[in-house]
Structure 1
Amino acid sequence: MRLFIPATLTMLETLLDAGEMPVRSGTAFAATPALIESYAEGDMEEIEHVAFLEAARASLRLLGGELDSGAAHEAHPYRRVVVSADVPDEQLTPRPDLDTAVVRLAGGTVAMADIAAVHVDLAGAVDLVRDAVEAVDRADLGDEDAELTVGDALDVDLAWYDAVELPFLLTLL
């Protein structure tokens, strides 16, 4: 199954250095049966895009956590990252109690060999992402202005990179 894993540039550096990346709480997003069932129309690509956007939103929370703990990427603390990976279905447990797109990855790590692509914000999104990181918790609690701020960041497409480009991406940022 194709997974969409929320991440940060710091996590990508770990992936490159160690050959695997810890997945925060083992949580990722996918086109689960529950997510597919919730859409009367739409092909698999559209449904996977919904899961991808959930991962991009979760990346905002990871960025906020890194900033709070002092572990944020030194040069680029406001770049969302989503890692697309293909893993066997047996390694996944749907978590509809959390959301229709949420899955738990057994083992809590993803290997470099399983990575299909990496998606990263370009420099032009930094201001929107910074504002969204500050607003995401308020948005989750129903603040409409904060939800609009988060939506502005989510409207910006992440750039796509093949997994083999990861070393160059991290060097050239």
Structure 2
Amino acid sequence: MTARYRVGDGTGATFVGPANNCAQDSNQALFGAIRLLLEQIQAVDPTLRREWERENPEPAQRLAQLLRLERALRRELHPLGRTRADWRQNAYLLGSSLEDRPLANLARGLSSWRTMLPRLASDTVIKVFLEHGASALVLRTNQVGGRRPEIEPLAPLTL
């Protein structure tokens, strides 16, 4: 995705805005992975699933925990109650220019407003994961100074 944003799929550049940014892309990928898993789970015969849950209580408990995590993520990242259509279809939408339907792009971004700002999206996802017993490692690239001692890291702002 970084390369696609950099070259605009051959157009030379891409506008990054409310509906198209790194936070939108990473959360779409997260939701896509969870959606595929849920589809596979739902494809299993319910009788066989209940039997598997009885015979394998520990993995069944982890599966139930994952399902609770998915619901919590959906509530936090889609507060309007609907997953964006492009996320449901796993569409690879690249950013656009300012002339490309700016109101439609803004509306699409607002439907998942917590992912409009990368830091807010990161904080939201990390908070949900931690509330559900997961561990998290947050890498902050702004703290990497390299070989230039005059560069001092600045802590990112959160909302």
With the length of structure 1 as denominator, give the TM-score of the two structures.
0.24
Higher relative contact order (CA 8 A, sep 6+): 2
| Greater radius of gyration (CA) | 2
Query: Which structure carries more helix by proportion?
Result: 2
With the length of structure 2 as denominator, give the TM-score of the two structures.
0.26
Query: Which structure carries more strand by proportion?
Result: 1
